[in-house]
C-alpha cells in the first residue's frame, strides 16, 4: 500500500490497522482475534490446499465451513512439527458436517503418513456418512533421481 494511502487509512480509522487486508484493533489481547475472518457466505472452489502443510496453527473447523472444496490437498509430512495435524483432519469432518448439503469431497494426501492412515481407519464410517473420499495413489512419477506418488484430477 502506498504511504499516502496508509496514512489516510490510519487517520480515518484511529486505533485500527490493516493486517492481511483486514482492519484490526491493535489493543486486542487475543492474537487469534486479529486473524479472524469476517462473517460471510461460504466460498466454493474446485481445489483447495490446506494451509501450512495441514498444521493446526492456522486451520480449524471454520476454514472448512467457509472454504468448501471438491478436493483438498494435504501436503504435510513432518511429524515432529505436527504436520499433518490430526486436529485439522478432524476439523474437516466437523466443518463438512455443517455444510447442510452432501457434496462429494476428495482428500488428496501427498504423503502416506501414520497420522493420515490412523485418521482414515478410525473415521472411515464418518467419512462415508459425509461423502468424503480419501485418494490413495497407486501411480508413481519418476523424474531424474526422484520418484513420488501421483494422482490425476479431472474437473
User: Domain segments of the chain: what residues?
Assistant: 43-149
Between CA 107 and CA 92 the distance in angstroms is 10
What are the pLDDT digits (tens) for 11-49? 444 444 444 444 444 444 444 444 555 678 999 999 999
What are the pLDDT digits (tens) for 49-106? 988 767 777 788 899 999 999 999 988 777 777 668 899 999 999 999 999 888 999 9
Residue 76: per-residue pLDDT: 78
Residue 10 in this model has a pLDDT that exceeds 60 = no
Residue 69: per-residue pLDDT: 96
Residue 12: per-residue pLDDT: 44
Between CA 75 and CA 28 the distance in angstroms is 33
Write down the pTM of the prediction: 0.66
Residue 149: per-residue pLDDT: 65
In this predicted structure, which of 44-48, 53-57, 125-129, 136-140 has the lowest mean pLDDT?
136-140
Residue 134 in this model has a pLDDT that exceeds 60 = yes
Kindly give the residue spans of alpha helices, DSSP state H, lying in 13-123. 51-54, 61-66, 86-97, 114-122
Residue 139: per-residue pLDDT: 65
Choose among 103, 136, 104: nearest CA to 120: 136
Instruction: Name the residue with higher pLDDT: 125 or 40.
Output: 125
- Grid cell at residue 45: 472452489
CA angle at residue 53 from 50 to 54, to 5 degrees?
55
Amino acid at each position: 500500500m502506498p504511504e499516502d494511502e496508509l496514512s489516510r487509512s490510519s487517520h480515518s480509522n484511529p486505533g485500527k490497522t490493516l493486517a492481511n487486508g483486514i482492519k484490526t484493533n491493535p489493543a486486542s489481547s487475543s492474537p487469534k482475534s486479529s486473524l479472524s475472518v469476517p462473517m460471510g457466505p461460504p466460498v466454493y472452489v474446485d481445489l483447495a490446499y490446506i494451509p501450512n502443510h495441514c498444521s493446526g496453527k492456522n486451520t480449524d473447523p471454520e476454514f472448512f465451513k467457509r472454504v468448501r472444496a471438491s478436493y483438498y490437498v494435504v501436503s504435510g509430512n513432518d511429524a515432529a512439527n505436527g504436520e499433518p495435524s490430526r486436529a485439522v483432519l478432524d476439523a474437516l469432518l466437523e466443518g463438512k458436517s455443517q455444510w447442510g448439503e452432501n457434496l462429494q469431497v476428495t482428500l488428496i494426501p501427498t504423503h502416506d503418513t501414520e497420522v493420515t492412515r490412523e485418521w482414515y481407519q478410525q473415521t472411515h464410517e464418518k467419512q462415508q456418512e459425509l461423502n468424503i473420499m480419501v485418494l490413495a495413489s497407486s501411480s508413481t512419477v519418476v523424474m531424474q533421481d526422484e520418484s513420488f506418488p501421483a494422482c490425476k484430477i479431472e474437473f
